[in-house]
C-alpha cells in the first residue's frame, strides 16, 4: 500500500516568501508528526496531531510556523516570511495509535521529506 | 526533561565490528524506546524498540540494552556490515503512541 507522501520533494524560495509543505499520511493513521532535520543534525520535533485532540505545537520555533490537519488526512505546514535558517528537510510521519495491544501501535512511518532551501 | 541525549555523533568501525550507540533520558515518564535507521535521502525507519520492563531485546544482529535505574539505553550491532552504514536515532515517548522525542543521531560508517 501507499506510504506517507510529501510534496514538494524540493523547494527553493527567496527569503521573505511564504511556503507551504504538504503531507499525505497512511490511510487510517490517527497520529501525524512534523519534524525538521537540518543538515547533519537530528530530528527536531515541530508539531503533533493526534485524532481530534488539540495539536501539540510545543516544537514550533516561531509564530512564522503553523500547521493544519484536515480530520485524519492531509496536513500542511506553512512557513511565513521564510528566513535562511529555515533551510532544512521537513519530515512528516504518521502512526497508528489504536492501542489495544496492537504491536504496530506507535511505529512512525516517515515520508522522504521536503527539502527547503531559502536563498 | 524532554531531551534525549545520544552519543557518539559519528562512529567508524571495520566490517564485523560491534558498534555501540548510547542514549540517555531525563523524563522518568518515558516508557517506550525505539531506534530508527535512516539512509541518505530517505526518511527514518523503525529498527527495534524496547519497553522498560525488560533489560535487553534482540532482533537479528541488533540488540537494545536498557538500564532503567541509570535512565540509559544503547544499541549494539553484531557482526556489522557495510550495508549497516546509516544514521541511527534513538527516541523516547510516554506511551507507545505518545509524542516521540528523538536524539541527535549517530552517523555510522562500516568499512569493508
Mean pLDDT for the stretch of residues B82-87: 97
Mean pLDDT of chain B: 93
pLDDT at A71 (0 to 100)? 80
Q: CB-CB: which of B34, B42, B89 is closest to A42?
A: B89
The tens digit of pLDDT for each residue in A8-53 reads 999 999 999 999 999 999 998 888 999 999 987 889 999 999 888 8
Mean pLDDT for the stretch of residues B5-12: 95
Mean pLDDT of chain A: 89
What values do phi and psi take at A85, rounded to 5? -70, -5
> Residue A77 and residue B62: Cα distance in Å, rounded?
35
The more confident residue out of A105 and B10 is B10
pLDDT at A25 (0 to 100)? 94
> Residue A102 and residue A100: Cα distance in Å, rounded?
6
Who's near B2: CB < 8 A, 6+ residues apart?
A: B26, B27, B101
pLDDT at A99 (0 to 100)? 46
Q: CB-CB: which of B6, B97, B105 is closest to A31?
A: B97
Grid coordinates given for B6: 545520544
Chain A interface test: which of B97, B104, B108 (most A C-beta within 10 Å): B97
Cα distance from N-terminal residue to C-terminal residue, chain B = 40
C-beta separation of B1 from B27 below 8 A: yes
Band the pLDDT of A106: cuts 50, 70, 90: confident
Grid coordinates given for B3: 531531551
pLDDT at A103 (0 to 100)? 46
The share of chain A scoring above pLDDT 70, in percent, equals: 92
SS3 B83: helix
Cβ of A112 within 8 Å of Cβ of B43? The answer is yes
Q: Strand B106-111 vs strand B10-14: parallel, antiparallel, or unpaired? A: parallel
Kindly tell me if the per-residue pLDDT of A101 is higher than 70.
Answer: no
Least-confidence region, from A77-81, A94-98, B80-84, B107-111: A94-98
Give chain B positions within 8 Å (CB) of A21.
none
- For B40, nearest residue in chain A (alpha carbons): A112
C-beta separation of A109 from A5 below 8 A: no
C-beta separation of B74 from B65 below 8 A: yes
Mean pLDDT for the stretch of residues A62-71: 93
C-beta separation of B97 from A106 below 8 A: yes
C-beta separation of A91 from A104 below 8 A: no
pLDDT at A8 (0 to 100)? 97
The more confident residue out of A41 and B104 is B104
Band the pLDDT of B94: cuts 50, 70, 90: confident
DSSP-derived secondary structure letter, A2: -
Q: CB-CB: which of B44, B97, B105 is closest to A95?
A: B97
Least-confidence region, from A41-45, B41-45, B80-84, B90-94: A41-45
Give chain A positions within 8 Å (CB) of B99.
33, 45, 48, 56
Amino acid at each position: 500500500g501507499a506510504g506517507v507522501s510529501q510534496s514538494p520533494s524540493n523547494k527553493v524560495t527567496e527569503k521573505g516568501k511564504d511556503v507551504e509543505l504538504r503531507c499525505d499520511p497512511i490511510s487510517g493513521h490517527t497520529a501525524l508528526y512534523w519534524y525538521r532535520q537540518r543538515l547533519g543534525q537530528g530530528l527536531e520535533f515541530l508539531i503533533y496531531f493526534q485524532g481530534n485532540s488539540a495539536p501539540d505545537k510545543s516544537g514550533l520555533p516561531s509564530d512564522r510556523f503553523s500547521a493544519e490537519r484536515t480530520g485524519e488526512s492531509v496536513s500542511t505546514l506553512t512557513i511565513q516570511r521564510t528566513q535562511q535558517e529555515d533551510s532544512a528537510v521537513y519530515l512528516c510521519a504518521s502512526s497508528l495509535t489504536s492501542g489495544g495491544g496492537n504491536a504496530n501501535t506507535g511505529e512512525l512511518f516517515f515520508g522522504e521529506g521536503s527539502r527547503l532551501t531559502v536563498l | 526533561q524532554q531531551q534525549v541525549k545520544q552519543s557518539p555523533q559519528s562512529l567508524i568501525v571495520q566490517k564485523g565490528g560491534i558498534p555501540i550507540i548510547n542514549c540517555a533520558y531525563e523524563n522518568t515518564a518515558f516508557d517506550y524506546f525505539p531506534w530508527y535507521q535512516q539512509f541518505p535521502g530517505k526518511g527514518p525507519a523503525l529498527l527495534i524498540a524496547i519497553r522498560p520492563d525488560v533489560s535487553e531485546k534482540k532482533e537479528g544482529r541488533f540488540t537494545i540494552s536498557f538500564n532503567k535505574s541509570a535512565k540509559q539505553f544503547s544499541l549494539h550491532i553484531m557482526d556489522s556490515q557495510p550495508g549497516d552504514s546509516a544514521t541511527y536515532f534513538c527516541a523516547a515517548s510516554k506511551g507507545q503512541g505518545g509524542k516521540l522525542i528523538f536524539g541527535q543521531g549517530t552517523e555510522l560508517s562500516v568499512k569493508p
